[in-house]
Structure 1
Amino acid sequence: MASTKMKIKKNKTGGRDVMVLAKHPMETGLRKDKKTGEKIPAHYIRTMDFAVNGAVVAQANLGAGVSKNPLIGMSMAGAKSGDTISATWTDNKGETGTVEKAVK
């Protein structure tokens, strides 16, 4: 599977705003291939876990209705300089992607 990217910015409250771009096809299983006419199998992200220093602090439940290459964002009040933030997604085929970044 393709890459996953993350950006972390300090927000006005002193916490961190985290944006994760997951390159993923996000197929519903309902669309047909224009050339063959056959249905394209479902392939979408089910969950994305956010962790600070290895401890999961939030989980996003996604599904087939989310667009291709989803951009998922959240705010973390407790993350500070020196911490490591990670995001891990798992799709309906069992594939995973992880991105990790140190907070500046």
Structure 2
Amino acid sequence: MSDIRIRARIKDGETEVKCLMNHPMETGLRKDSKTDELVPAHFIQEVVCKLKDEVVMTANWSGGVSRNPYLAFKFTGGEVGDPVEITWTDNLGQTETATDQIS
């Protein structure tokens, strides 16, 4: 199962994409309450949305984004049935991708 839940809907010529990403989003500044050691940084650095393999949105994030981030945005040019793909890459080089068809 993907760590991204995505929904893409078209209304009045605009495609609205909503997605929820499962990620710990650690800043590297929080201390573990048991060990008093800093919890290593682990956060999403880049989110890319593609419509039919063409990039329509890129977001560059840092450790200041909350755990399990929610992202919503709109773009024009999509049609019902077109594939919308969301990919995130974190500071450890891990990636996750999910796809939905516009409805």
Aligned to 1:5: 5
| Distance (Å, rounded) in 2 between the aligned partners of 1:9 and 1:56 | 18
* Larger relative contact order (CA 8 Å, sep ≥ 6): 2
| Deviation of 1:23 (Å) | 0.3
| Gap regions ≥5 residues in structure 2 | none
TM-score normalised by L of structure 1? 0.93
The residue type equivalent to 1:23 in the other structure is N
| Gap regions ≥5 residues in structure 1 | none
TM-score normalised by L of structure 2? 0.93
Aligned to 2:99: 100
The residue type equivalent to 1:8 in the other structure is A
Conservation of the 8 A alpha-carbon contact between 2:10 and 2:78: no
How do 1:58-69 and structure 2 match up within 5 A?
58-69=57-68
| Deviation of 1:59 (Å) | 0.2
| Distance (Å, rounded) in 1 between the aligned partners of 2:54 and 2:8 | 17
Point out 4+ residue stretches in structure 1 off by more than 2 angstroms.
Answer: none
| Deviation of 1:10 (Å) | 2.3
The residue type equivalent to 1:28 in the other structure is T
| Deviation of 1:87 (Å) | 0.5
Supply the RMSD in Å over aligned alpha carbons: 1.1
The residue type equivalent to 2:6 in the other structure is M
How do 1:1-104 and structure 2 match up within 5 A?
3-11=3-11, 13-104=12-103
Q: What is the number of residues matched between the two proteins?
A: 102
